[in-house]
Amino acid sequence: MGRRVKQLFIDYGGLSISMRGMMSTLTQSIDSAFQKGEAWKMLLLILVFASGLRFFLLISPEVIHNDGIEYLNHAKRIASGDWSGGRVPPLYPALIAFFYSFTGIDELAGILVSALFGSLIVLPVFYLGRALFNDKIGILSALLTSVHPLLFVSSGSVLTESTYRFLLTASVLFGWWAFAGGAFHCILLFSLFTTFAYLTKPEAIGILFIFSLWVLSLHPPAGKRSWKKRAGILLVALFGFIAFASPYLVKIRMETGKWGISQKIVISIGSLAEEEGVPSIDEIRRRKEFPLVSILTDPFTALRKAGLGLFASFYKFQQVFHPLLFLFAVLGWVFLLRGRNDFSIKGNLFLVMHFVFFFALVFPFFWITRRYTSQMIALSIPWAAAGCLWFLGWLSQRFKKEQVQRNIPAFFLIFLVIGLLVQGSFLHRREHRLIQRDVGRWMKENLDRDVRMMSRMPQEAFYAELPWVRIPDAGYGEILREAREKGIRYLVVDEEIESYSPGFWEQFKGGGLIRIYDWEKKGRRMSIFEITGQAGQ
């Protein structure tokens, strides 16, 4: 027994020495890369690392979201040459259509688009961190981006989030470069990426408003700028955006009869002469119409909604950003404002303006959810990286031994990265949805084709590859009547059926349905019925 314990201590000591040696080598390699100005090599490694992580999302995809089915349907129409119709902005479906032409599998094509941009986002985040701080913070920002739980999860979803975050971050980055330097190619790239972001989510048009405000109101960090130069920068940016976005804007005009920024939401100037027809601030979200004149007719409600919405959006955002990273971001701002560095205050305030715009002027009037506020995660990571590095510098100074001072940051970062990655792998599972995929695949393999089905959510029909009709919130008899009128052959119900159709199981005994199969998984239950005869037979 004593010999085994002794051997255990010897093995543990050898492992500790090996780990310390590895940490020392890693730290020296990183320091050497920065000293030689070769941060791009580390960035390339992070990009490969991020891409490798997201490969597992391709081979083990999550259950598709409701919105994802709409994107895939739109992508198939685009792939067939039909660009008309569709209530979602066209860029993400168009990218899916492009990959669909190679894969032939719509869901895989959608995940490929998300995984691609979920990997590439480390590039604009790195350059943003470097522009606002330095190379080290840029590299750490890219590393944290590659393993952030929600950024990782969205890279495997058939949703616009991953693509939009990349485009939003790139737009802000080129916007800052265009403002700070005024180079023509940066202004043009800002217009291009802002257009791409707008063609993914219409609220991204606000980036152009923020840029215009800064160009007209402030001088760049390098010095004063003449009004002639300001006007030139602004005109290039505006005309570039109009040129790139004009086909979609014209399409909206042709299909809706109005000039708007989206087929879902109409934003217009409005008219005081038609005040009775102007929706109130509280009606904007319901009517999907936002005449700007409504702010003038009810300014106090608008201010109240913006103020409360700012705090509500911030609260939702800190829930998805990550508690530890949020703490580091706060530390980053503390050190920034205390003047312990020579970094760009103006650049960081430029970034803050985007949060104020979306948190106070966009989300409160339409959606304040964790999903929408998570769009700002990538823009926040440079602040978290700055706070993290300053914390690690403070922590390493608590130890007297030089070797410990050098190894502590590496140990901490490794555990931080592993912790974030493990958390993301758990979020990816969405186990409560797995039963819906199982039901759909079973229907595809065992039931008749060329029929229609009815269920509460579209996932089962998507995996069964059958036309879908939503089950109404009605009684048993009304469900059967509507199903027969619409030619429904199969009905799928879940454990919530009694909440939207009270008395369903009791009335089921009266006939009209034949139970085919039952599932129970992860606390959920689902059943498939075939609709036959008349109710009561």
Q: Which two tokens stand for residue 11?
A: 């093995």
Question: H or E element: which one contains 531?
Answer: strand 524-531
Write out the DSSP string of 115-167. Answer: HHHHHHTHHHHHHHHHHHT-HHHHHHHHHHHHH-HHHHHHTTSSSSHHHHHHH
pLDDT of 164: 97
pLDDT of 271: 47
* DSSP designation for 397: T
pLDDT of 296: 60
pLDDT of 26: 46
pLDDT of 492: 95
Q: Classify residue 187 as exposed, middle or buried by CB count within 10 Å of its CB (0-12, 13-18, 19+).
A: buried
How does strand 289-291 pair with strand 266-268? parallel
pLDDT of 288: 57
Listed residue (121, 132, 212) closest to 168, CA to CA? 121
Amino acid in the structure at residue 414: I
Cβ count within 10 A of residue 35? 8
CA distances from 512 to 447, 466, 484, 508, 529 (A): 19, 22, 10, 7, 10
Q: Classify residue 447 as exposed, middle or buried by CB count within 10 Å of its CB (0-12, 13-18, 19+).
A: middle
pLDDT of 361: 86
Q: Which domains does the chain have, with CATH numbers?
A: 38-264+298-427 (no CATH), 432-531 (3.40.190)
Q: Which two tokens stand for residue 156?
A: 């495997």
How does strand 468-470 pair with strand 289-291? unpaired
Distance between CA atoms of 521 and 265, rounded to whole angstroms?
Answer: 39
pLDDT of 37: 64
Distance between CA atoms of 413 and 286, rounded to whole angstroms?
Answer: 46
pLDDT one digit per residue (tens) for the chain, 537 residues = 445 444 433 443 443 344 444 445 445 555 555 555 678 889 999 999 999 999 988 888 889 999 999 999 999 999 988 887 667 889 999 999 999 999 999 999 999 999 999 999 999 999 999 999 999 999 999 999 999 999 999 999 999 999 999 999 999 999 999 999 999 999 999 999 999 999 999 999 999 999 999 999 999 988 899 999 999 999 999 999 999 999 888 887 777 777 777 766 666 545 444 444 555 555 555 555 565 556 666 667 778 878 888 999 999 999 999 999 999 999 999 888 876 554 578 899 999 999 999 999 888 877 888 889 999 999 999 999 999 998 888 888 777 666 666 778 888 888 998 888 888 777 766 788 899 999 999 999 999 888 999 999 999 999 999 999 999 999 998 999 999 999 999 999 999 999 989 989 888 877 889 999 999 988 899 999 999 864 444
Listed residue (482, 481, 483, 488) closest to 466, CA to CA? 488
Distance between CA atoms of 40 and 37, rounded to whole angstroms?
Answer: 8
Q: Which pTM was predicted?
A: 0.87
Q: Which two tokens stand for residue 58?
A: 């391709």
Q: What share of the chain is helix, strand, coil (3-state, %, to 5)?
A: 70, 5, 20
